[in-house]
Amino acid sequence: MPFLPFIRTVRKNIYGIIILLPAFLYLAGFSLIILFTVTQMAFTYAGTEKIFFPALQNFVKLAQSPEFRSALLRTILFTVAGTPLELLIGMAAAFLVVKKFKGRGVIRSIFILPLAIPAIVTAIILYILFDFPGGHINEIIMGRHAFFPCQFVEYPVDWRGSAFSALAVSLAGKLWRDMPISMLIILAGLQSIEKDQTEAAATLGASSFHIFFKITIPLLSPAIATVLVLRSIELWKEFIFPYILAGSYPLLSTLIERAYHEWRSPNEASAIAVVLLVLIITCTMCIYYMLAYLKKRLVRI
Amino acid sequence: MIFIVMAPIFIMFKYSLSDRASVVTGGAVIPLWPYEPTLEQYRGLLSADRFIGAAITSLKTALLAVIISLILGVPAAYALVRYRFPGILVLTTFLISIRFFPDIVSVVPVVEVFTPAGLVGNVAGVAAAHCLLSVPYVIFIAMGVFESIPGDLEEQAQVLGAGKITAFFTVTLPVALPGLAAAAIYVFLLSWDEFIFAYFLMAFSDLSTLPVLLRKILSWTPQHNLLAAISVLLSIPVVLFTFIVQKYMRAGATAGAVK
């Protein structure tokens, strides 16, 4: 009777299982349906006469389209440039507020403020600020304000008019809005480092430079790993900022929207979604193994 | 850094108070403070059916999402904390990590599945989609709350003759209430802010939540002071509540991605 222990466990925990079941069914069912539908649609090709399944045509078509290839390239650059920046900004903010000083609480609250501004609102503010021809940023760098007399450019810059500037502005918005999250993770890591260790190193004559690179950074590595993994996932799938600010230069995420709403092709949209999902999973695993390897090399106890 | 954090927020406020002459300057420099600060944008919005309608839709969606995710999430969290059966750790990890699934990947299948079910273009559909994002958070926050309440309390109540259910409602629940309220606020904000699901599910309907309204208005290139005023009204509840539940927000943020 191999089922007997199983039945006994079930009977003992029957209340627990009953109250757990609704949430489990909702989440697991929902995710299974999503995964199933997206894969099925991505591998379905609606030809002129009949529908093919399974078929790779959607992917072949995408691989041949210059729009998809440039979106893929932009997405990779966006993530590769953005992830280290997220980490650096988060660390800078965390190191600023970790030391005790007068007014630290206020400054910490101010630093959390971007988290409380909805992403779409942040995107709209940047849309207004970087407007062309008459936004604040253009007027400042054209030297039209008395408090900032240097003139960098003669004519206003069309920020949304080139791929580089449009995505740079989107990235700036993303970094601004995400700074508190990275900061809080690093801060939690910093606060868990015990003072004894840094003090011991200082007593033994280590410079603050040495303490930072030999003690603080290695001990901070779990927090750094968390930031890198979570932020890179977020950057791969970032939608709102590039959607509002870089409409003409889609990333993969905004290309999904375009395929779905403008090309009216749910199958191609799903194929892009599958590509994005595979990219995210591969990249997350790479970062994970890279960090595990680095940690083995760095932290010798 | 303080300047960089504060400047965009200040600019949003400034624009929302601007009169027409300080926005449409006809080539002159846009002033850093409006010539004649005015509340006319707010007054206009609060009497516009479109805006009020979107605000009510947002509110309904968020409240429905809160109710569904608490009903689903709180009992599940309780079970995950108080019961110990094999595989429970794997189950917990699985349930909580569902929030890492990229929303932009799931949005197309969600719309395709919701269309035949009649869940497109109405509040229920958007709330159901938001629950996919929020239930993992509720489970996570509520688990933390229940873990901090010793199980002995309930056992003692049971020794004194209370049933399992009475013990939960009269002993554990009152102690857990502040934490669960924070979870509720968290879900409310998540749904209030959420753009992707709401936009895809409401793109071709008259109904919109506030973020979707902002996007729809943007395509008629409106005056900046109108955009800013909607933005301010959209942000105010989030800013207020964020500082109320900061402690729990922090727990949520440090444990995972935040919307």
**Cβ contact B104–A92 (<8 Å):** no
Cβ–Cβ gap B131/A126 under 8 Å: no
Dihedral of CA atoms B10, B14, B15, B21 in degrees, nearest 10, equals: -150
How far apart CA A235 and CA B255 sit, in angstroms, is: 18
Examine residue A54 and say whether the peptide bond preceding it is cis (omega within 30 degrees of 0).
yes
d(CA B2, CA A283): 33
Q: Does the pLDDT of residue A301 top 90, yes or no?
A: no
C-alpha span between B137 and A234 (Å, rounded): 17
CATH number of this structure's domain A59-298, picked from the four choices 2.40.50.150, 1.10.3720.10, 3.40.430.10, 2.40.50.1020: 1.10.3720.10
Q: Which residues of B touch A120 (CB under 8 A)?
A: 193, 195, 211, 214-215, 234
Closest residue in A to B30 (Cα) is A136
CB contact under 8 A, A128 and B224: yes
Give B27's pLDDT tier (boundaries 50, 70, 90).
low
Q: How many residues does chain B have?
A: 259
Cβ atoms of residues A201 and A280 within 8 Å: no
CB-count exposure of residue B42 (10 Å: 0-12, 13-18, 19+): middle
pLDDT at B258: 33
> Which of B119-128, B132-141, B143-152 bottoms out in mean pLDDT, i.e. has the lowest?
B143-152
pLDDT at residue B243 is higher than 70: yes
| Cβ-contact B76, B139 below 8 angstroms | yes
Q: At B111, list the tokens.
A: 């719309």
Instruction: Identify the sign of the CA torsion A247, A252, A257, A262.
Output: positive
Condensed to tens digits (0 to 9), the pLDDT of residues A88-127 reads 999 999 988 888 788 787 888 888 888 888 999 999 999 9
Q: Tens of pLDDT along A160-189?
A: 888 889 999 999 999 999 898 899 889 888
Structure confidence at residue B34 (pLDDT)? 78
Please tell me the predicted confidence (pLDDT) of residue A73. Answer: 94
Asked if pLDDT for residue B250 goes beyond 60, the answer is no
Q: Report d(CA B154, CA B156) in Å as an integer.
A: 5
Q: Are A139 and B29 inside 8 Å of each other by CB?
A: yes
Distance of alpha carbon A11 from alpha carbon A18, whole angstroms = 11
Q: How far apart are CA A201 and CA A204, in angstroms?
A: 5
Beta carbons within 8 Å of B71's beta carbon, 6+ residues apart: A22
Mean per-residue pLDDT, B161-190: 84
Q: Which of A112, A119, A239 sits opposite B246 (nearest CB)?
A: A112
Average pLDDT, chain A: 85
- Which of A33, A58, A120 to mutate to test binding with chain B, by most B CBs within 10 Å of its CB? A120
Cβ(A223)–Cβ(A243) below 8 Å: no
Say if residue B257's pLDDT is above 60: no
CB contact under 8 A, B5 and A114: yes
Distance from CA of B47 to the nearest CA of A (A): 21
At residue A123, the pLDDT reads 92
CA atoms within 13 A on the CB side of A138: 22
Return the pLDDT at A236: 93
Domain ranges of chain A: 1-42, 59-298
pLDDT at B28: 67
Name the token pair of B103: 């929303």
Q: Where are the domains of chain B?
A: 61-219+238-255
Pairwise CA distance, residues A286 & A292, whole Å: 10
ipTM: 0.85
Kindly report the nearest CA distance between residue B259 and chain A, in angstroms: 8
Listed residue (A247, A248, A254, A249) closest to A269, CA to CA: A254
Choose the closest CB to A93 out of B1, B113, B131.
Answer: B1
| Three-state secondary structure call for residue B193 | helix
- Residue A87 has which token pair? 């980490």
> pLDDT band for position A2 (50/70/90)?
low
Burial of A245 (0-12, 13-18, 19+ CB in 10 A): buried
Mean pLDDT of A281-286: 92
Tell me the C-alpha distance between A113 and A56, whole Å.
46
Mean pLDDT of B136-149: 88
Cβ B257 vs Cβ B100: under 8 Å: yes
pLDDT in tens, A31-78: 999 999 999 999 988 777 777 777 788 888 888 889 999 999 999 999
Q: Alpha helices of A43-162 — where are they, by DSSP H?
A: 57-64, 66-98, 104-112, 119-129, 136-141
Helix-helix angle A57-64:A66-98, to 10 degrees: 80
**Residue B107, token pair as written in the block:** 């949005």
With CB atoms and an 8 Å threshold, state whether B1 touches A145.
no
pLDDT higher at A237 or A199: A237
Q: Which of A24, A237, A280 sits opposite B95 (nearest CB)?
A: A24
Residue from B4, B5, B208, B259 whose CB has the most chain A CBs within 10 Å, to mutate: B5
- The answer, yes or no, to whether residue A287 has pLDDT greater than 70, is yes
Quick one: which of A284, A289, A234 has its CA closest to B253? A234
Q: For residues A288 and A198, what is the distance between their CA atoms, to the nearest angstrom?
A: 27
Integer-rounded Cα Rg, in Å, for chain A is 25
Are residues B23 and A141 in contact, defined by beta-carbon separation less than 8 angstroms? no
Mean pLDDT for B218-229 is 83
Instruction: Report the residue of chain A nearest B165, measured CA to CA.
Output: A15
Instruction: Decide which of 3.40.50.620, 1.10.10.10, 3.40.50.300, 1.10.3720.10 is the CATH code for B61-219+238-255.
Output: 1.10.3720.10
